A = this chain, B = another copy of it.
Amino acid sequence: MNILAIGDVVGSIGCRFLRVHLPQFKKMKGIDLVIANGENSADGNGLTPVSVQFLFDSGVDVITSGNHSFRRKESYELYDSCEYLLRPANFPASVPGKGSCIVDMGRIQVGVINLMGTIYMESLDSPFDMADRLLKEMPKITLIDFHAEATGEKRSFGYYLDGRVSAVFGTHTHVQTADECVLPQGTGYISDLGMTGPIQSVLGVKPELVIEKMRTKMPVRFALAEGDCKMECTLFQIDEKTGKTVSVERIQIQ
């Protein structure tokens, strides 16, 4: 089966671009399931009931998130009520929502896990240990969105799970990496899916604003860039019998 994983969708501009291109692309590639990271889908970061609904309506099946999961109070209730909206599973147990779900596709079940890295990020329970625990109850076909910064943590996490999950894909840096591959034991892998949003930007934001912040160290209010967009994603072709990934295709749609 073909499972598409889409990098952080940034703001309403990114959401609209996704809506325009995803349906057609799904048909063209025969995609069975779509996972997208939506932690920045609301303008001003985080996600809202509106941005979540927009993504689902556009053809996304499971929404993952990350360090911006709880930026918006209006989304908290959603994490509990919406089965296919995830926050990192290694957040403290007391926060709203859950970090994994199983999509029943009739003949077959697909698990999705969302975890967060801990290097250069918030201290959280070990994503390695948490993956071990969660995998006891996940179906043969399971994919993990590992929302993390450091390439060392991401790649070692991929190797740690090699042969035990269908795919591990990274998110958070908003820059697509070119290390997509099938790891030795059959797990599809890419360090970062990239981003869905404005091309001429710094992670979605107007470059001049980020430059100002970097140069002055003063508070700067960020605004999303405009102009042409791209959707960065990766397609995992998975063998339903083994749960292993057969091929990985890294994609940039402009």
Give the interface of A toward B (CB within 8 A): 70-71, 91-92, 94-95, 118-126, 128-129, 149-153, 155-157, 159-160, 173-179, 184, 191-192, 194, 200-203, 207-208, 210-211, 214-219, 232, 250, 252
Most B CB within 10 A of own CB, among A70, A71, A152, A192: A152
What is the CA–CA distance of A217 and B124 in the complex, to the nearest angstrom? 8
**Can you pick out 18 interface pairs between chain A and chain B where the beta carbons lie within 8 Å of each other?**
A91-B216, A91-B217, A92-B216, A92-B217, A94-B215, A95-B216, A120-B120, A120-B150, A156-B207, A156-B214, A159-B202, A159-B211, A160-B215, A175-B177, A175-B179, A175-B191, A178-B232, A179-B194
- Provide the residues of chain B in CB contact with A156, threshold 8 Å: 202, 207, 210-211, 214
Q: Are B95 and A203 in contact (CB under 8 A)?
A: no
Cross-chain contact B155 with A215 (CB below 8 angstroms): no
- Shortest C-beta distance, A212 to chain B (Å), equals 9
In the assembly, how many copies of this chain are there? 4
Q: Is the CB of B129 within 8 A of A123?
A: no
Residues of chain B lying within 8 A (CB to CB) of residue A184 = 200
A217 touches B122 (CB 8 A): yes
Inter-chain contacts of A250 with B (CB < 8 A): 178
Cα–Cα distance between A160 and B207 once the two chains are bound (Å): 8
Question: Shortest beta-carbon distance, A133 to chain B, in Å?
Answer: 12
* Closest CB in chain B relative to A187 CB, distance in Å: 12
A215: which B residues are within 8 A, CB to CB? 92, 94, 126, 128-129, 160
Interface centre among A120, A179, A192 (most CB of B within 10 A): A179
